[in-house]
Chains A and B, each alone.
Chain A
Amino acid sequence: MDSIPILKIGSALLVTIQVDMHDQLATQLQEDLTTRIVEHHARGVLIDISALEIVDSFIGRMLANIASVSRLLDADTVVVGMRPEVAITLVELGLGLPGVKTALNAERGLALIGGVARDEAAAGDGDDD
């Protein structure tokens, strides 16, 4: 079975969803990401959904679950690139995705995660002495 590649950039993991996912693939991504967060001590997860033409309740739930699980594992999740029509549909569906951070594009998303990492690095420097 095919799987969705997970790239490591610094202390962040990057996932670009480029296929119309069937449910099993979405579930597998959730498990793979959880493993990789721990493996790489990742501080952030960036999920690019700009290629997704729809987000239904199943994929919405997957995104919310990834955000919850990664938070428990001390990593921030940012979903980037949601299409406007997808956002409109999600709200009407009743899924505001509470607890899921979003950014308009990957650059801003990385800045969000990078910002978190930098803040912590600065705080860490202060504690070292």
Chain B
Amino acid sequence: MATTTETLAIVSGDDVVRVRQKVRVRATEAGLSLVDQTKLITAASELARNTLDYGKGGHADIMTVNDTARRGVRIVFRDQGPGIPDVALALTDGFTSGNGLGHGLGGARRLVDDFDIQTAVGQGTTVTIARWRK
């Protein structure tokens, strides 16, 4: 069961900072270890920036998941931007179409337990990540 979803708009650099702060609060509440919190927040920072820079802005839905099986934080980043033509390539380390180091998407995937990406050219991109309490 996902509870209390909080949706943040991502339209400026300040919003990327705000996403990091909200994710930290949720990760602490969910009881993630310090290392797990740090990994989740870092992944969220990368993806929020992608939403801003490549997706031309969008939203982040931050939710605490608390069911019988597991407890953690799930975040959905969605934009209506140009989409990603070649997802496999975009997930490769060293690939970047912008000004990063090219570690954004692939790096973010390594930092979380669950990673899902839905994208199509002209249809925008939705990335869902989650990190669970061990």
Contact = CB atoms under 8 A, between A and B. Distances in A.
A89 B42 contact: yes
Interface residues of A, number: 23
A15 B21 CA distance: 23
Interface residues of B, number: 27
Nearest to A56: B45
A95 B100 CA distance: 12
B120 to A, nearest CB: 25
Interface of A: 20-24, 53-58, 60-61, 64, 83, 85-86, 88-89, 92-95
B35 interface: yes
Interface of B: 13-14, 16-17, 20-21, 24, 34-35, 37-39, 41-42, 45-46, 49, 93, 100-101, 103-104, 106-108, 110-111
Given A23-B16, A54-B45, A93 B103 contact: yes
Given A20-B20, A20-B21, 19 more contacts: A22-B16, A23-B13, A23-B16, A54-B38, A56-B46, A57-B46, A61-B101, A64-B101, A89-B38, A92-B39, A92-B107, A92-B110, A92-B111, A93-B46, A93-B107, A93-B108, A94-B106, A95-B101, A95-B107
